[in-house]
Structure 1
Amino acid sequence: MNSDLKKKKRLTIRLFTVFALNLFHGSAYADECPSGDFAQFLPVYYSNIEAQQRLTAMTVMALALKYSDEPGKIEPKTMAVDRSTLAFPIMMPIEKDKTKDVQVEQVDVNHVTVVDKRTGNSHIKIFNFSRQTCWSLEGVEDWSISENHLVASSKPSMSTAENFCFQRAQAYEELGATGQYRLTGELFEASLENYLCAAASGDPEASLNAASLSLSGMAPQLETKKVEALLKAAATTLAEGAASLSTFYCYGNNAASQGTCERPDQAEKELIRAASMGSVDATNYLGRSFEKGELATHDISRAIACYRLAASKGNRVAVNNLNRLKKQAADVSNASSCY
């Protein structure tokens, strides 16, 4: 009798254990863990909605880009999200020709990160998996910027889509510039892609930002002809654009800006345009180019005029240049016009 009671008790405990596992996981344990090897686990996870539902943690740490307390600034914010509120499938199947756009990175033996770039740098998602008895998704990072955070008419000269691109470009550039995030390179790439989208409108600011980001070395370098076209668009109304085009005519698609100027006549013309648009720094540098003969013209009288003009607008370097010429016994009392 005691033996029968013990058998029944063991059977009851076993059935309760199986029942509890089914309640918690939705299936028997033998069916629930595809593999302890993440390389074999992942294809099962992304190809099966039911597997995703079972193998996602009850609480997921979700990162999204949202407005910060600082007006107009977007930054990543993380919050705990209940699994029941998630929309499945949370990860889409990975096609064979798209595997290069999905990077699997092992953090340690129990943590793996999957970086999904299949929809471009403006829509990167990161999936963070951890392993206890089996692998499960415990974190999702969405690095896209919702249109809810954007203004349709921030620049009247652009279409709604181009406006969105411009704002995304600014946000991604600011995020990349902090250097705080693992996606720094991708953030700068996303910024450049979006600036180019906005620059399609011919907007000078978007054009200058795209060219400058390319020349900075922080994002992929654009072709020389493309950079020149962007800077020409920027130079139509922006003094900084004309100054940048002047530098480009000297050194081309080379951010180092060293050596002999390749196209001094064109460089001088754009530098004069930048100075005439009101750039004090360009005015001082124009004075230097006239003094040293670094571009097309060597004219001390015009150099003095440029230094004096820049100095009158508060440029301390120009003041020092005037004082230096005085010490060299140069007559700075009379000079021709700067431009």
Structure 2
Amino acid sequence: MKWFSIALLSLGMNTGAFASSPSDAQCPSSNFADFVKAFSSEPEVQKAFIASPVKQVHVIADGNIPKVVERSLKELATDELKVLLSENAAKSNLTIEINLPNRVIVRDQTGQFLKVFVFKHGDCWVLNRVEDWSLEAAMDEVARSEEPELSERELKKGVIFDRLVNKASPESGVYLYAAALDSYLDGARKGSAQAAFAAAGISLSGQAPRLENSRILQLLIQASERIPDAGLTLADFYCDEGEYDENHGCINPKQSMATLERAASQGSTNARIRLGEVYEMGTVVPADLPRAMACYREAQKSDLESGTSAVDRLATQGVVSDDSIQCIKAGSFR
């Protein structure tokens, strides 16, 4: 995907002491991908081309709140680098991605494992930072006190990844958003409507990778079955398929209206207000101001402020309330 290959040439090149290296150690390659291949498989190259001190970032549990800890180490534990070897990564269902100009990302597809290895270049490439964003240990600590359901654990993990973006560099933040999406998707597979809604939302936002439209549709349908307000997002998606272009009309107006009506019938006041807006503006179906008034009046019963404001706006246009007209029942799209 394009978002995986963005070249971030302005990456900080802060200086730091190199690890003492054998006098005969030679740089395997000035090409980053070739260097990483040698670095991952040859222990002597690793010893020669790791900065000292080397920065290490990891996440711990601080009560119920994961906390980012950064420290400087004279040397890395050998185990830290094992995942860079393709055979080891494959055994753990991990993927290795080289992100130019200077990062190697090792991750899985469920949000359980995420490490970022950051190199800098002088006479040769040198590993100077290891970021371990994996949350499983921290989540285990949280689970001991909260005992969330499995699907809700994945939802919470996705939320934490999303929040941790503020603690990461923009270059690493891209992968935290991806891990959040993976966590939400895992939660959705395990039955969480909230996780399904969050997965669709973060994908449509552009922060995380864009899922196929068919997958987004599945997620929004799953979410809307238990979260009435998710029906609003689903109704919008039926109209624009996530492409926010005001110049084209609604792609599937019947499905969009049926979804809004169903959400309103499930108790969503926001859906009733949206129905009123649709009938008022005529953007999905032909404008019908008396029907819009009926929808706003129904919304007024549970949201006095928004409903009253909309009712008053139509009243100033000469629209009169008519008790014989209902927001949903007459002319239903369902």
TM-score, length-scaled by structure 1: 0.71
* Alpha-carbon displacement from aligned partner over 1:29-62 (angstroms, at most 9, x marks no partner): 433x323965476555433335534554453321
Q: Is the 8 A contact 1:172 1:187 kept in 2?
A: yes
**Selected match of 1:123 from 114, 117, 120:** 114
Residue in 2 that maps onto 1:326: 315
Residue in 2 that maps onto 1:65: 59
Shift of 1:218: 2.1
Q: 1:286 to 1:154 in 2, by over 3 A?
A: farther
Q: 1:101 to 1:287 in 2, by over 3 A?
A: same
> What is the SS of the residue equivalent to 1:30?
coil
**Selected match of 1:254 from 231, 243, 254:** 243
**Selected match of 1:142 from 101, 121, 132:** 132
Which structure 1 segments of 5+ residues have no match?
Answer: 1-23, 106-112
* Alpha-carbon displacement from aligned partner over 1:133-189 (angstroms, at most 9, x marks no partner): x86544322122233324388653xxx4x4553333222222347785322322222
Q: Give the Cα separation in 1 of the matches to 2:104 and 2:84.
A: 14
Residue type of the partner of 2:200? A
Q: 1:192 to 1:257 in 2, by over 3 A?
A: farther
Q: Give the Cα separation in 2 of the matches to 1:169 and 1:201.
A: 14
Q: Is the 8 A contact 1:215 1:254 kept in 2?
A: no
Of 229-238 and 296-305, deviating more is 296-305
Query: What number of residue pairs does the alignment pair up?
Result: 298
Q: Is the 8 A contact 2:84 2:106 kept in 1?
A: no
Q: Tell which has more relative contact order, 1 or 2 (C-alpha 8 A, sep 6+).
A: 2
1:182 aligns with 2:171: yes
Residue in 2 that maps onto 1:102: 98
Residue type of the partner of 1:117? V
Pairwise CA RMSD of aligned residues?
A: 3.7
Residue in 2 that maps onto 1:14: none
Q: Is the 8 A contact 2:83 2:106 kept in 1?
A: no
Shift of 1:230: 1.1
Q: Give the Cα separation in 1 of the matches to 2:115 and 2:29.
A: 25
Q: 1:240 to 1:137 in 2, by over 3 A?
A: same
Q: Give the Cα separation in 2 of the matches to 1:322 and 1:254.
A: 31
> What is the SS of the residue equivalent to 1:34?
coil
Matches within 5 A, 1:167-206: 167-176=156-165, 181-206=170-195
Q: 1:178 to 1:72 in 2, by over 3 A?
A: same
Which structure 2 segments of 5+ residues have no match?
Answer: 1-18, 329-334
Shift of 1:63: 0.6
Residue type of the partner of 1:287? G
Q: Give the Cα separation in 2 of the matches to 1:284 and 1:327.
A: 18
Of 226-235 and 34-43, deviating more is 34-43
Q: Give the Cα separation in 2 of the matches to 1:114 and 1:178.
A: 18
Larger Rg: 1
Residue in 2 that maps onto 1:86: 77
Q: Give the Cα separation in 2 of the matches to 1:48 and 1:92.
A: 13
**Selected match of 1:309 from 288, 298, 303:** 298
Q: Is the 8 A contact 2:217 2:234 kept in 1?
A: yes
1:242 aligns with 2:231: yes
TM-score, length-scaled by structure 2: 0.72
Identity of aligned residues (%): 24
Q: Is the 8 A contact 1:325 1:332 kept in 2?
A: no
Q: Give the Cα separation in 1 of the matches to 2:298 and 2:132.
A: 51
Q: Is the 8 A contact 2:290 2:319 kept in 1?
A: no
Q: Give the Cα separation in 1 of the matches to 2:306 and 2:167.
A: 30
Shift of 1:198: 1.4
Q: Give the Cα separation in 1 of the matches to 2:233 and 2:321.
A: 29
Q: Is the 8 A contact 1:34 1:41 kept in 2?
A: no
Q: Is the 8 A contact 1:67 1:74 kept in 2?
A: yes
**Selected match of 2:23 from 24, 27, 30:** 30
Residue type of the partner of 1:81? L
Matches within 5 A, 1:277-296: 277-295=266-284
Shift of 1:131: 5.2
Q: Give the Cα separation in 2 of the matches to 1:219 and 1:135.
A: 29
Q: Is the 8 A contact 1:249 1:264 kept in 2?
A: yes
Q: Is the 8 A contact 1:301 1:335 kept in 2?
A: no
Matches within 5 A, 1:204-243: 204-243=193-232
